[in-house]
Amino acid sequence: VTNIPRVLPALDETNKDFWTSGLDGQLRICRCKDCGTWNQPPGPLCRNCLSSSVVGEPVSGRGTVLTYSVNRHQWGAEPTPPYVVAIVELPEQEGLRLTTNIVGIDPEQVRVGMAVEIEFEAIEDVAIPVFRPVA
Ligand SMILES: [Zn+2]
Looking at residue 120, its pLDDT comes to: 95
- Whether omega for the bond prior to residue 42 falls within 30 degrees of 0, making it cis, is no
CA 115–ligand 1 middle distance (angstroms):
28
Strand 83-89 versus strand 62-71 pairing type: antiparallel
- The stretch 8-14 carries a mean pLDDT of 87
Looking at the predicted structure, is the pLDDT value of residue 1 above 60? no
CA 21–ligand 1 middle distance (angstroms):
21
What is the average pLDDT score of the chain? 91
Looking at residue 61, its pLDDT comes to: 96
Looking at residue 79, its pLDDT comes to: 72
Question: What is the per-residue pLDDT across 67-117, written as a single tens digit (0 to 9) for each?
Answer: 999 998 877 766 788 999 999 999 999 999 999 999 999 999 999 999 999
Confidence of residue 4 (pLDDT cuts 50, 70, 90): low
CA 49–ligand 1 middle distance (angstroms):
4
Confidence of residue 5 (pLDDT cuts 50, 70, 90): low
| Distance between CA atoms of residues 118 and 101, nearest Å | 10
Looking at the predicted structure, is the pLDDT value of residue 51 above 90? yes
Beta strands in 1-135 (DSSP E): 28-32, 38-39, 54-58, 62-71, 83-89, 97-102, 115-123, 126-133
pTM: 0.88
